[in-house]
Chains A and B, each alone.
Chain A
């Protein structure tokens, strides 16, 4: 991976939603580049466009205008199937509400993306066991989400997000549903994954703790980039 080539690139991107008879401008022409290994937080007040930007980068939504590229591929030109494969292979997701599958164990949730990719079971097992140990869940592999705390569930979600070796992990308000101590632990974990293993993170957040730890802070206001600060 060329460290000077952006993993994520948004060029003059707009996103307009239609709500009834009203057009809602969620993004109004933002331009942004994310380099490999960055630990970036998108911050801003509610309605500023953080989640919309994350959804566009995550190939979950399409821009109204402008270009969104992931590893140089223009997402606007890809079919739904290609976007689906791209999400599976190159993007990791950590959601605010954890979004684990309730009928699967921690281990099974963590391995699901690799299972969808068709990775052979032995390799899956080795990788997932290593990751669960790394996120501090060794011994809890067989527990279902309802048997885990919020912090533990989010750790499973992080393990799931990085299991398949994505180009970037997108985390939408990852600390919003956990207490302060758990939030600190989760941030420490993600920071460690970023520093030691080079995982690229892009957060959307309005949590000051996340903002404080981010190496780059991009502030969105009314769908525009108000500031972009590297630390």
Chain B
């Protein structure tokens, strides 16, 4: 049978209804595609901001450090581990961590000291680019430190001011040292903002009298993240050490991202249910007003499957037209939103679950941006058309031909 020819002509018999149906499908496709791209962009930004500043995609610790942080719990061969990770195609850096106090004048506050390899750290993390006042660390200035935003505010210091660092060294002595504020960071994350004190690894080792090892090895987030595979590769390179992915280190953020994805799926579902109702109604009308014709087709020996195929072909044409129209409408918007983004400066710097909001929100466009909503539309239409199509397919020809 000339199924596609018949279907194509049939859909233009009632232009208005077809245009309304195609219009509804187009709007749904445009909305879900734009929404999906923006949410993907939001999640990508969230994930990037959460991971790239100081988290990385995964971290390695000496066994027990995470449960009970201690200056003595070090990865003894941290440099060798970093070299092994490099050899395995990853980029990593080692950090030294310790707690203590920092004071300036009459003010003092708890501090988290972070000793870093300046060059290596900058290759893995972007925290060094977050200095808003002063400058980042310099190996040539071992007395210089960089502070988190709120800590600097609490102490009332600015670049050039003097600080006193205080802690307990690994040899049991009181560690104290004068330091100079080199820079103050923008908002990076809750912990760093409140207590972060960055100093060079050499200065850290001298301050804490720690000659060997590191407390933390951070692995850079690759462009494409296959977390389980990555975890397995890191574990293989770090035998006997504890490997934690960012999802385990920041379960709240991971849950939030999963929740947003769930919310997106739910929104898609709601939009598509509405579309399904429109299509079901349109196709029921289309079937009932042609009931006599289906009777004729059945009388002439056209089988139920062919009738089913005819009605599905009519719906297929409408979906394809809607897909074309939606591509024309949404492509310029997606280009704009992915290039220029949405201005979110009113939320910039606001921290939520340890992550600071970015000032612009960009759309992320990939193949799935289009295939996801399109596949959903095909599925919804297929489900919505099933009832009217089945009704037409099993129609009794004699009864049907009695219809005027």
Contact = CB atoms under 8 A, between A and B. Distances in A.
Given A103-B13, A104-B6, A108-B2, A116 B398 contact: no
Nearest to A92: B300
A91 B398 CA distance: 15
Residue from the set B300, B302, B306 with the largest chain A CB neighbour count within 10 Å = B300
B324 interface: no
A93 B398 contact: no
B301 A113 contact: yes
Contacts of B301: 84-89, 91, 113, 116
Interface in B285-317: 292-293, 296-304, 306
A96 to B, nearest CB: 10
B211 to A, nearest CB: 86
Interface in A82-136: 84-89, 91, 93, 95, 99, 101-104, 108, 112-113, 115-116
A81 interface: yes
Interface string B304-348: 101000000000000000000000000000000000000000000
Contact of A112 (B1, B9, B401): B1
Contact of B300 (A55, A102, A108, A112): A112
Given A112-B1, A115-B2, A101 B302 contact: no
B305 to A, nearest CB: 9
Contacts of A102: 13, 293
Given A99-B401, A103-B13, A116-B306, A60 B2 contact: no
A55 B301 CA distance: 14
A112 B297 CA distance: 9
A84 B296 contact: no
A60 B297 CA distance: 12
Contact of A101 (B293, B298, B304, B306): B293
Is the contact region of chain B dominated by helix, strand, or loop, or is it mixed? helix
B98 interface: no
The majority secondary structure among interface residues of chain A is helix
B300 A88 contact: yes
Interface of B: 1-2, 5-6, 9-10, 13, 292-293, 296-304, 306, 397-398, 401
A113 B302 CA distance: 8
Contacts of A93: 299-300
Contact of B303 (A55, A81, A91, A99): A81
A58 B299 contact: yes
Contacts of B299: 58, 60, 87, 93, 99
9 contacts: A84-B304, A87-B301, A88-B300, A88-B302, A89-B301, A99-B299, A101-B293, A102-B293, A108-B5
A116 B299 CA distance: 12
Nearest to B293: A101
A153 to B, nearest CB: 13
B306 to A, nearest CB: 7
A103 B6 contact: yes
A141 interface: no
Contacts of B397: 60
A217 B395 CA distance: 33
A76 to B, nearest CB: 16
A61 interface: yes
Given A84-B304, A95-B296, 11 more contacts: A60-B398, A84-B301, A85-B301, A88-B301, A88-B302, A93-B299, A99-B401, A102-B13, A115-B1, A116-B301, A116-B302
B6 A84 contact: no
B10 A103 contact: yes
A55 to B, nearest CB: 6
A143 to B, nearest CB: 14
Contacts of A84: 298, 301-304
Contacts of A81: 303
Contacts of A112: 1-2, 300
Contact of A99 (B10, B296, B304, B398): B296
Nearest to B12: A103
Contacts of B293: 101-102
A108 to B, nearest CB: 7
Most buried by A among B9, B10, B304: B9
A105 to B, nearest CB: 10
